[in-house]
């Protein structure tokens, strides 16, 4: 019996000493995507002459989901955007009140009426917010920094996000800026400890919807708004 126990311990130590693929921590990295930024000279000139414009954040109807939880989360993100605009000296108009004014046909077709009745200079429209962009790779870096590949890692999803804005100058009805900002996961590297290959049952019962973790998403939206303001002004 003692020989059997000693043999088992020896095999265990040998396995630990050599290291097993399942206990190895691997570092995954993705390359940062370039943001897409377009600001017209007229917008820069306008903000140079009017550093404290009156603006309204308008949201795409597609983003206003019927799902209560998602709608609440979106509203919180809208508040984050408006808060950053306020900090930068912009006068922020009420979104819901603005939409009521826009629904009037006379205002919708006449931008002079819209500007006068809403007392607003710029519309910053949030045209897209996607928090579940999938990133995948079969490449990783080991403890020595050497690049290797793994078929198991290829089944792992990492989630990024993107946010897009459009700026309209009400007095001229001009598209004055288009902005797209990206959040890419693991740009500086994420440690990933692989598990065994998922079974068919595990794949079939996987969660139907996954996305960027909420706190990370909030910080991304905050950072993107700050960058939006910088690009508009400078």
Give the residue among 159, 86, 176 at the shortest CA–CA distance from 124.
176
CA separation for the pair 45, 47 (Å, rounded) = 6
pLDDT surpassing 70 at residue 7? no
Show the domains of the chain with their CATH numbers. 36-135+159-184+211-233 (3.40.50)
The most confident of the ranges 70-74, 101-105, 228-232 is 228-232
Give the tens place of pLDDT for each residue, 181-209: 999 999 999 988 766 565 566 555 555 45
Contact 71, 64 (CB under 8 A): yes
Whole-number average pLDDT of the chain: 82
Provide the CA 63 distance to its chain's centre, in angstroms: 14
pLDDT 10s digits, 40-59: 999 999 999 999 999 999 98
pTM of the predicted model as reported, rounded to 2 decimal places? 0.79
């Amino acid at each position: 019996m003692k020989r059997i126990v000693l043999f088992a311990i020896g095999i265990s130590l040998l396995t630990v000493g050599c290291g097993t693929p399942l206990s190895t921590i691997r570092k995954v990295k993705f390359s940062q995507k370039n943001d897409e930024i377009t600001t017209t000279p007229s917008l820069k000139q306008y903000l140079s002459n009017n550093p404290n414009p009156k603006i309204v954040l308008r949201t795409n109807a597609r983003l206003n989901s019927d799902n209560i939880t998602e709608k609440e989360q979106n509203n919180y993100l809208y508040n984050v955007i408006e808060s950053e605009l306020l900090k930068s000296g912009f006068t922020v108009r009420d979104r819901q009140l603005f939409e009521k004014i826009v629904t009037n046909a006379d205002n919708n077709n006449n931008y002079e009426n819209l500007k006068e009745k809403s007392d607003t200079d710029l519309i910053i429209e949030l045209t897209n917010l996607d928090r579940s962009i999938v990133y995948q790779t079969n490449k990783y870096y080991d403890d020595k920094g050497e690049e290797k590949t793994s078929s198991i890692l290829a089944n792992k999803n990492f989630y990024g996000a993107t946010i897009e804005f459009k700026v309209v100058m009400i007095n001229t009805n001009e598209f004055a800026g288009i902005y797209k900002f990206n959040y890419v996961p693991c740009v500086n590297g994420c440690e990933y400890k692989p598990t065994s290959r998922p079974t068919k049952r595990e794949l079939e019962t996987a969660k139907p919807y996954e996305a960027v973790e909420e706190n990370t998403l909030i910080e991304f939206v905050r950072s993107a708004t700050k960058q939006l303001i910088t690009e508009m002004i400078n």
